[in-house]
Structure 1
Amino acid sequence: MKRLEGGIQPYRASPRLLCTASQQKKDETDKPEQSAAETLLAEEKAQLEEQVKDMTEKYKRALADTENLRTRSQKMIEDAKLYGIQGLCKDLLDVADILEKATESVPKEEVTSQNPHLKNLYDGLMMTEIQIQKVFTKHGLAKLNPDGQKFDPYEHEALFHAPVEGKEPGTVAVVTKVGYKLHGRTLRPALVGVAKAP
């Protein structure tokens, strides 16, 4: 290589510098591509996070729905156990009513030891009536005889309203047929006459 005047040699790039310069140029041209790839990945990440969030919400809702269904099913099973005998009880109420009417219709003065057949029949009816009431109580069936109580439309069925001496208006004056409740739920309302103001 020739020396220039003044003893200065021309600048000659070393191979290492050339590699570094070309790498910088290459990096500058690749940078926008990396940025586009990063943007694409960030968008994909956001979509996936949104999907995870959505799936988590659906999962939580499904869990809550399942729990509600389980609770409702449990309640239905318990109600079925308690009130499953409702139909049978309604049918037996007619039998209890007939027994009660039979015992009420017998004149008490006729039930004596002079009339042993009638006394035995009456005693048998009374024992049967007592036993059926015990069975009712054992299975949660309670008698409603609301004589003198305040009229309650959930437990009583008013057949008539009439002024009754000595009874406060709005109270039950006459019970024509007793009612029954099964585990606190009215099975048959009592048929009543309600006192009204004169």
Structure 2
Amino acid sequence: MAPFCILHVVITRISAYVKAQRTESETFYSLKLKAVKLEKEVQDLTVRYQTAVGDSENIRRRTQRCVEDAKIFGIQSFCKDLVEVADILEKTTECISEETEPADQKLTLEKIFRGLSLLEAKLKSVFAKHVLEKMTPIGDKHDPHEHELICHVPAGVGVQPGTVAFVRQDGYKLHGRTIRLAQVEVAVESQRRL
């Protein structure tokens, strides 16, 4: 083999080796850049995750505080209205004393009646404001979700069996939900004895 050919083979091999080294170096550098980029991305995602966890914990605490406040102060408006009812009741009871003269009893009874009338009107106003409704079930079909059956009574004239004939204690609904069942007597068909 000629020296020129050997030299050419050596140069070609060295050139290929250098090229391979350069490619390997570029690949290593490229992988290192990708690794640095991925590390930054992981750090960024970790920070975002920790922020999200912290935010959700803060929201949970705030929501819990709001729920607790709602439990405590949810009836604040209702209580404020009831205080006015208590004021009327207190003023009405001030009219009564053991030292009332017999001649003043009629005047005292009139004051009590006026006070009780005011009290009833104020209570109805408070109930209406807070959508607290008194149920009037007479004549309605018995509903165990709204009525507590106290006893059965014979159906009278114009009263259908299975309907409410008499209310012993009124029931109430708050925003359409029954909060106290009405205590009722339900009409039943009377049985004839032979």
TM-score by length of 1: 0.49
State the TM-score, normalized to the length of structure 2: 0.50
Structure showing greater radius of gyration is 1
